[in-house]
Amino acid sequence: MIDINLIRTNPDLVKGNIKKKFQEQKLPLVDEAAALDGKIRALKQEGDALRASRNTLSNQIGALMREKKIDDANKVKAQVVKNNERISEIEAQEQELSASLRKIMLTIPNIIDKSVPIGKDDSENVEVERFGEPKVPNYEIPYHADILESLSGADFESARRTSGTGFYYLLGDIARLHSAILAYARDFMIDHGFTYCIPPFMIRSDVVNGVMSFDEMENMMYKIEGEDLYLIGTSEHSMIGRFKDTTLKESALPQCLTSYSPCFRKEIGAHGIEERGVYRVHQFEKQEMIVVCKPEDSMDWYEKMWRLSVELFRSMDIPVRQLECCSGDLADLKVKSCDIEAWSPRQKKYFEVCSCSNLGDAQARRLGIKYKTDKGAVLAHTLNNTVVAPPRMLIAFLENNYNEDGSIRIPKALQPYMGGKTVITKK
């Protein structure tokens, strides 16, 4: 959510930003917000004047009563009653108009960074840099679901019977590999100075509305029937929510946290959920990183965070690239975002495994996340990035460590988490 002062002082900037995001249908919202804000401010001014008048009139009543001027005092009392009635009307109107204004402000996209490339959708995202040489072996690499089943590592049929499409059982060495990757990612982040956290896996609607847009919520999140609770789609949601209505000490920043959680997603949209395997599923586990910091530090942290993902994947012998998200591909709360994509030797192309985002003060404004300075409380900036998200990351791991005989190499970094195993073989 942007600062209302931007609409008051520079509506053309806000409209220009909407155009850059190719959301022209939202342009009228800027003028609607300005009009509502004007009415609210006028009502507030009128209410303040009436309250000041009420104080003055109250003093007059006291003086008139002391002078035994009862009729005059009663006339002033009648005016006070009239003023109070109008103040009540104003307060009700202010509350109604403020709710309408907030609804609009939650819809107007955040101001994107000047460095963000302009483009309509993800087809216009820009490759920035590659890390590691993408290789294609001289033997065929099967589809990842077939690899998993050949290693007795996944059972999709049973999951369809118990839970439906978009679920899976992981078994044996593959299940152990899945947990090993998460454990390694956890320790990797701890070694880089992040504090490990396991958050709540359900959050209330006020936190949901604070961390994401309404459209994202509708397409992603499962609601608990009969309760004000949602299953998290990523631990970022509850991790950022931890700081709701909190004013931190300046010395406590930055807050650098890495969190583990299961994640639950509807996966509604163009992609559907019909593809076989574990690429797009309703339930998965993830290690996340979030940072709460001062505004002047957020771009430095953005750079550090996506590079941590690169370092982690390269330590497991997986080539990756950084892809800068264009304006039309940015969610409304984001200032800047990039994807880390892993190389798929089977498909001979890259696919997304991490997403790093700087949200500026948008989430902080919605949730009231501030820190103390000598000049008062200031809104913090929030950032998030995927550390690793098996099972999707598992696809990249299997393909890039697949041997011709169908076995899977275990990179040195993961071997301690696999009981010293150097290879997973068919049984």
More confident residue, 83 or 258: 258
Q: What is the pLDDT of residue 214?
A: 67
Q: What is the pLDDT of residue 216?
A: 72
- 134 and 48 within one domain: no
Q: What is the pLDDT of residue 270?
A: 42
Q: What is the pLDDT of residue 75?
A: 85
CATH of the domain at 70: 1.10.287.40
- 130 and 79 within one domain: no
- 349 and 251 within one domain: yes
Q: Where are the alpha helices (DSSP H) in 110-244?
A: 144-150, 156-162, 172-191, 205-211, 214-220, 235-241
Residue 134 included in any domain: yes
- At 97-156, the pLDDT tens digits run 999 999 999 999 999 999 999 999 999 999 999 999 999 999 999 999 999 999 999 999
Residue 186 included in any domain: yes
- 40 and 139 within one domain: no
Q: Residue 363 in contact with residue 240, Cβ under 8 Å? A: yes
Residue 389 clears pLDDT 50, i.e. is over it: yes
- 141 and 96 within one domain: no
Residue 114 included in any domain: no
Taking 3-state DSSP, the helix, strand and coil percentages for the chain, each rounded to the nearest 5, stand at 45, 20, 35
- At 321-353, the pLDDT tens digits run 999 999 999 999 999 999 999 999 999 999 999
CATH of the domain at 289: 3.30.930.10
Distant-in-sequence, close-in-space partners of 173: CB < 8 Å, separation ≥ 6:
151, 153, 418, 421, 424
Q: What is the pLDDT of residue 427?
A: 74
- At 180-229, the pLDDT tens digits run 999 999 999 999 999 999 999 999 999 998 998 766 777 788 999 999 99
Instruction: Report the number of distinct structural domains present in the chain.
Output: 2
- DSSP letters, 155-178, are EHHHHHHHT-TT--EE-HHHHHHH
- 140 and 84 within one domain: no
Residue 200 included in any domain: yes
Residue 110 included in any domain: no
70 phi, psi to nearest 5 deg: -65, -45
Assigned token pair, 345: 């030797």
- 141 and 20 within one domain: no
- 77 and 212 within one domain: no
Assigned token pair, 211: 């961390």
Query: In whole numbers, what is the pLDDT of the chain averaged over residues?
Result: 93
Using DSSP, state whether 54 is helix, strand or coil. helix
Which residue among 54, 70, 105 closes a domain?
105
Residue 321 included in any domain: yes
Residue 382 included in any domain: yes
- 137 and 85 within one domain: no
More confident residue, 21 or 212: 21
Q: d(Cα 417, Cα 419) in Å, to the nearest integer?
A: 6
Q: d(Cα 279, Cα 152) in Å, to the nearest integer?
A: 18
- At 58-74, the pLDDT tens digits run 878 878 778 778 888 88
Q: d(Cα 24, Cα 142) in Å, to the nearest integer?
A: 44
Residue 113 included in any domain: no
- 74 and 137 within one domain: no
Which residue among 59, 77, 105 closes a domain?
105
- At 220-279, the pLDDT tens digits run 889 999 999 999 999 999 999 999 999 999 999 999 999 999 999 987 544 444 567 888
Which residue among 105, 132, 167 closes a domain?
105
Range of the domain at 191: 122-424
- 40 and 143 within one domain: no
- 232 and 134 within one domain: yes
